[in-house]
């Protein structure tokens, strides 16, 4: 794609050169515009090779530089999104969860140090579907469709909201009995992304995503579920005593059972904690991170797994350094080759057209005015190549960046390789100016007749 677009840009090169001629040649040098145009036309075959190589080099620098930078940042961002925080302690299983009491004691011990590297901490409970005998948790809209007039919103004074119905199905595997519990929920916000969470747009991917509630609400839901399970067990045991011998009547009576809407006061139950999230300060040394891990492990389960995001970032940065070195080496080689081609092209334009140089001086132009014509020609060519190469490189890199961010649902972030791009453009302009001046400086001090004789 890059080479194809560069070859297409060659057809627009003359138009860009004319634009820069009008932008560069001003003041007393306006009379040289037609001479610069004719010089570009006469040197088109030689300049076209230099322009093509410079455009390809700049496109390659922009494309590869931005893509390597995007990949390194994307890997690091995905690491933090997948893990959730700088340090994450994960319990081995639902049967061996982390304890809120142990977590609190551990973090109080860590935060008691005035020089602690920890900024904040939090924890996440296990998915409620993993608790007890819950088989299914689903969310459905608790609304119906009606027709209203357009002016209804102007007359009514109440606020209209869309409640959601959360359905929790509890199954007793031993007794082959299930209970459905319904909760009405009000959506406060919709998370498009959440580090360490499986979330998504509600309209597109609510199925299977997490509904985030407060700790108190989680405890209330869990307590109600456990109370319902307890009542089921009690009533099943009541109808399956030895006195009830008719299995049909027993099953019929069980199917007609329902839990009272007014439940008694239920003590809150602490949920099993799955993850402990620890937020650290920026760029914490490895020894300090290990010290925090040792303190936490002295209070919680030793079987818990610790994920160190900053350590993973250091590993990724070391790997991406190799790719960056590869990019810098090949980019530098491309720039050096491009500079040699430009230098040869500009010096050849002057040396092989000494007859033109002598004729221009013979009609009244000074030596420096004649040199400026060649400088304007070289600058117009180089600046046109910089514009076309930059547009191609930016277009391809931004397009690929949009494709990547579309699948990762990340915000569009473009990383421009400023150092090597500015260096290459600056050196290209310097080569255009010095190549034209140094090639013509020898003819400046010669007589007009001698210059015409050598050029002829």
Q: Which domain holds residue 190?
A: 84-146+158-230+269-315
Mark whether 296 and 322 lie in a shared domain: no
| Within a domain: 22 | yes
The two structure tokens encoding residue 392: 């191609």
Mark whether 448 and 421 lie in a shared domain: yes
Q: At what angle do helices 354-362 and 448-455 cross, to 10 degrees?
A: 150
Mark whether 177 and 70 lie in a shared domain: no
pLDDT in the model for residue 153: 46
Distances (CA, A) of 159 to 8, 152, 153, 154: 59, 12, 9, 12
Tell whether pTM > 0.75.
no
Mark whether 223 and 296 lie in a shared domain: yes
CB 87 within 8 A of CB 307: yes
| Within a domain: 249 | no
| Within a domain: 282 | yes
Mark whether 134 and 223 lie in a shared domain: yes
User: Which pairs count as long-range contacts for 251-260, CB under 8 Å and 24+ apart, including other chains?
Assistant: 254/177, 257/232, 259/179, 259/228, 259/231
Mark whether 91 and 222 lie in a shared domain: yes
Mark whether 12 and 47 lie in a shared domain: yes
Mark whether 295 and 387 lie in a shared domain: no
| Within a domain: 16 | yes
| Within a domain: 236 | no
pLDDT in the model for residue 178: 66
| Within a domain: 239 | no
CA atoms lying within 13 Å on the CB side of residue 130: 12
Mark whether 194 and 73 lie in a shared domain: no
Residue position matching structure tokens 């915000």: 411
- Compute mean pLDDT per 10 residues along the chain, 456 residues long, and list them: 73 86 86 83 79 81 78 76 84 85 89 87 78 56 48 49 62 62 70 58 51 75 73 58 47 45 57 86 84 89 86 81 78 77 75 70 76 85 88 83 72 75 84 79 67 58
Mark whether 280 and 387 lie in a shared domain: no
| Within a domain: 258 | no
| Within a domain: 344 | yes
CA nearest 167: which of 184, 146, 155? Answer: 184
CB 160 within 8 A of CB 123: no
CA nearest 25: which of 356, 325, 374? Answer: 374
Mark whether 342 and 449 lie in a shared domain: yes
- The rounded distance, in Å, linking the Cα atoms of 222 and 241 is 29
Mark whether 371 and 442 lie in a shared domain: yes
């Amino acid at each position: 794609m890059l080479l194809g677009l560069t070859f297409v840009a060659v057809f627009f090169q003359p138009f860009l050169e004319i634009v820069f001629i009008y932008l560069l040649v001003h003041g007393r040098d306006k009379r040289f515009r037609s001479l610069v145009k004719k010089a570009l036309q006469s040197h088109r075959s030689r300049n076209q090779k230099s322009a093509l190589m410079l455009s390809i080099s700049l496109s390659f620098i922009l494309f590869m530089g931005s893509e390597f930078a995007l990949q390194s940042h994307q890997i690091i961002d995905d690491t933090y999104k997948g893990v959730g925080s700088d340090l994450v302690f994960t319990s081995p299983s639902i049967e061996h969860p982390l304890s809120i009491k142990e977590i609190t004691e551990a973090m109080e011990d860590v935060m008691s140090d005035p020089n602690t590297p920890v900024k904040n901490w939090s924890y996440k409970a296990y998915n409620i579907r993993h608790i007890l005998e819950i088989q299914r948790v689903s969310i459905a809209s608790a609304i119906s469709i009606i027709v209203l007039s357009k002016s209804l919103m102007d007359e009514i004074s109440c606020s209209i909201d869309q409640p959601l119905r959360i359905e929790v199905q509890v199954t007793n595997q031993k007794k082959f009995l299930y209970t459905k519990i319904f909760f009405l929920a009000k959506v406060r916000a919709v998370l498009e992304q959440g580090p360490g969470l499986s979330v998504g747009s509600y309209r597109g991917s609510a199925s299977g995503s997490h509904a985030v509630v407060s700790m108190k609400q989680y405890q209330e839901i869990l307590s109600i579920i456990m109370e319902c399970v307890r009542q089921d067990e009690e009533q099943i045991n009541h109808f399956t005593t030895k006195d009830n011998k008719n299995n049909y009547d027993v099953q019929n009576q069980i199917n007609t059972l329902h839990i009272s809407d007014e439940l008694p006061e239920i003590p809150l139950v602490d949920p099993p904690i799955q993850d402990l999230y620890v937020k650290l300060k920026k760029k914490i040394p490895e020894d300090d991170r290990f010290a925090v891990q040792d303190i936490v492990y002295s209070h919680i389960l030793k079987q818990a797994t610790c994920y160190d995001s900053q350590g993973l970032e250091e590993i990724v940065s070391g790997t991406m350094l190799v790719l960056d070195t590869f990019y810098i080496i090949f980019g530098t080689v491309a720039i050096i080759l491009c500079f040699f081609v430009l230098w040869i092209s500009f010096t050849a334009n002057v040396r092989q057209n000494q007859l033109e140089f002598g004729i221009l001086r013979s009609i009244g132009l000074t030596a420096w005015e004649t040199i400026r014509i060649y400088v304007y020609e070289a600058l117009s060519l180089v600046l046109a190549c910089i514009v076309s190469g930059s547009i191609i490189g930016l277009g391809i890199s931004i397009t690929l960046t949009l494709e990547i961010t579309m699948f990762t649902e990340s915000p569009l972030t473009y990383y421009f390789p400023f150092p090597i791009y500015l260096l290459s453009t600056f050196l290209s302009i310097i080569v255009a100016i010095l190549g034209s001046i140094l090639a013509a400086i020898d003819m400046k001090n010669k007589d007009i007749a001698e210059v015409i004789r050598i050029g002829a």
